[in-house]
Amino acid sequence: MTGPAVVLVGPMGVGKSTVGQLLAQRLDLGYRDTDDDIVAAEGRSIAEIFVDEGEAAFRAVEKRAVRRALTEHDGVLALGGGAILDADTRGLLAGHQVVYLSMDVEEAVKRTGLNAARPLLAVNPRKQWRELMEARRHLYEEVATAVVATDGRTPEEVSEVALDALELKEA
């Protein structure tokens, strides 16, 4: 199968970008993040897209970005936290090496501060984060080849565990 060597999924703030870049270095591959692709293509932040056009419009843009990246990129690919909400996207992930990076709510608070720059967490962030995870956890698990808990681990430790879980060797 062509496409990314590894796809990272998980909630916002879990460290997909940091771990993805470390994995790409370790495997001597390129790194790509669909959130970055969206910002570059749209010329504005994800938060601005949410505010200006709403979540449904953002998810349509995200779906196209993920489809394109899965076709074009052969390195390490990080997806936005909500990309797995789309059934077609979940179907496209079948057959790929997908790592679900997980964390609990207290770790999320430490890492993101659950701040208002995260459009889905603008009001009562802890409660909303828990609700998002309750709605999404089974979807992350559905697409995952491996699940790696990030709580209390450095990005380097997480990337090592992910490599071990996927039995990927350094280039």
CATH code for the domain in which residue 134 is found: 3.40.50.300
Is position 64 within any domain?
A: yes
Q: Is residue 171 part of a domain?
A: no
What is the full per-residue pLDDT of the chain (171 aa) written as tens digits? 578 999 999 987 788 999 999 999 999 999 999 999 999 999 999 989 988 999 899 999 999 999 999 999 999 999 998 999 999 999 999 989 999 998 776 655 555 554 545 555 555 666 776 777 788 889 999 999 999 999 888 999 999 999 998 886 443
Residue 87 inside a domain? The answer is yes
Residue at 170 is within a domain: no
Strands 98-102 and 6-9 come out as parallel
User: What pLDDT, on the 0 to 100 scale, is given for residue 5?
Assistant: 93
| Residue 160 burial (C-beta neighbours within 10 Å; 0-12, 13-18, 19+) | middle
Q: Which two tokens stand for residue 84?
A: 């797995």
pLDDT of residue 108: 59
Tell me if 120 sits within 8 A of 114, measured CB to CB. no
How many domains, the chain?
Answer: 1
Assigned domain for 136 exists: yes
pLDDT at site 76: 97
What is the C-alpha to C-alpha distance for residues 46 and 42, in angstroms, rounded to an integer?
Answer: 9
Which pLDDT score, from 0 to 100, does residue 159 have? Answer: 94
54, two tokens? 């709403």
Domain that holds residue 43: 6-165
Instruction: Judge contact between 12 and 118, C-beta under 8 A.
Output: yes
Q: Quote the pLDDT of residue 167.
A: 80
In a domain, 1, yes or no: no
DSSP state of 96: S
Q: Which residues of 53-73 are buried (b: 16+ CB within 10 A; e: fewer)?
A: eeeeebbebbbebbeebbeeb
- For the chain, how many helices (H) and strands (E)? 8, 5
The answer to whether residue 106 sits within a structural domain is yes
Per the domain annotation, does 160 fall within a domain?
yes
